[in-house]
Amino acid sequence: MSTYVKAHGNNIPIQAPLIPDPFVPYTCKGYRSVFALCEADEAIIRKYLEPTPFEYMVNQFIVSVSDFSNCDKVAFMDCAIVIPVKHKDRYGGYYLFEYENDDSAIAAGRDLWGYPKKYADINLREEDGKVRGQAVRKGKVIAQIECDLTQTIPNLVQPQTYPHLNLHVVPRPDGKGIASMKIISRDTSPDFQLLSEKLGKTTVHLQGLPTDPLDELQPVKVLGGGMIVGDFYATEENGWGQVIETLI
């Protein structure tokens, strides 16, 4: 019988932290991601940026389903919708919606860096040159990407979505309002090792819930998509975030 060694974590419960402490560094060999570059109504993108400090750039967004199940710190799956934004002289990607299937991964992303993660059941399957990724929340398929890698497409010019520019928001514990709001920049891309990238004919379908209005991005015009395989590294140098501005 193993003996539990009491921890003194940087997150609660401090004697048995939900988030592994420290969370960085971590790696995910054999990371896989199916993605699609899409266009939406400019008015919708502007609507969701209005309460943020970020500037509108283009009516494009990237939707992805990614497999981090080989992560050596916490195994998880991820689904995200990211839009290109600008803040002062910085360009990057703002996570409009994000979902994962593990509470430790969700808490780490939210608490450490401001990723807007919520829970969903997520799967990514490959068969006969076709890839399908799904996110299911509260019994409803809120995001689905299907990519046929046997039907190749021309090269795809993707907008800049790194570094990630996140809003780290902490509500007041004693009443209404916000206790803290910071802009956090995080960029793990310098350490990512791409093993393969294939483009193919891609379709996307989004559905909404009262608290997850992904359907407002419909109808989606898909400009292209594909499948990425690589080795993901969150290093001591680039795996942590950087507070670039304190708003509250």
pLDDT digits over 110-146, tens only? 999 999 999 999 999 999 999 999 999 999 999 999 9
What confidence tier does 8 reach under pLDDT thresholds 50, 70, 90? confident
Cα angle for residues 223, 144, 83 (degrees, 5° grid): 50
Q: Is residue 183 part of a domain?
A: yes
- Chain segment 71-108, per-residue pLDDT in tens: 999 999 999 999 999 999 999 999 999 999 999 999 99
Report helix, strand or coil for 46: helix
Tens digits of per-residue pLDDT, 177-220?
Answer: 999 999 999 999 999 999 999 999 999 999 999 999 999 999 99
Q: Which helix (H) or strand (E) holds 209?
A: none
The structural domain count of the chain equals 1
Q: What is the mean pLDDT of residues 138-162?
A: 97
SS3 at position 188: coil
Residue 79 lies in a domain: yes
In a domain, 9, yes or no: no
Q: Which residues contact 169 (CB under 8 A, 6 or more apart)?
A: 114, 178, 180, 181
Structural domain that includes position 123: 27-246
**Is position 6 within any domain?**
no
133: in domain: yes
* Chain-centroid distance, C-alpha 176: 28
Answer whether residue 167 is part of any domain.
yes
pLDDT band at 5 (very low <50, low <70, confident <90, very high): low
CB 19, CB 107: distance < 8 Å: yes
Q: What is the CATH number of the domain that holds 67?
A: 2.40.400.10
d(CA 148, CA 130): 4
Residue 14 lies in a domain: no
Q: Is the model more confident about 15 or about 54?
A: 54
Q: HSE, CB side, 13 Å, CA atoms: give it for residue 27.
A: 7
* Distance separating alpha carbons of residues 195 and 48, to the nearest angstrom: 34
> Which pLDDT belongs to residue 192?
99
pLDDT at 39 exceeding the cut of 80 = yes
Q: Return the percentage of the chain with pLDDT > 90, whole number.
A: 95
- Comparing CA positions, the residue from 77, 137, 132 lying closest to residue 105 is 77
Closest CA to 92 of 163, 187, 19, 181: 163
State CA 214 to chain mean position distance. 14
Position 44 in a domain: yes
In this model, does residue 1 exceed pLDDT 70?
A: no
What is the pLDDT at residue 7?
Answer: 73
Query: What band does 236 get if pLDDT is binned at 50, 70 and 90?
Result: very high
pTM over 0.85: yes
DSSP 237: T
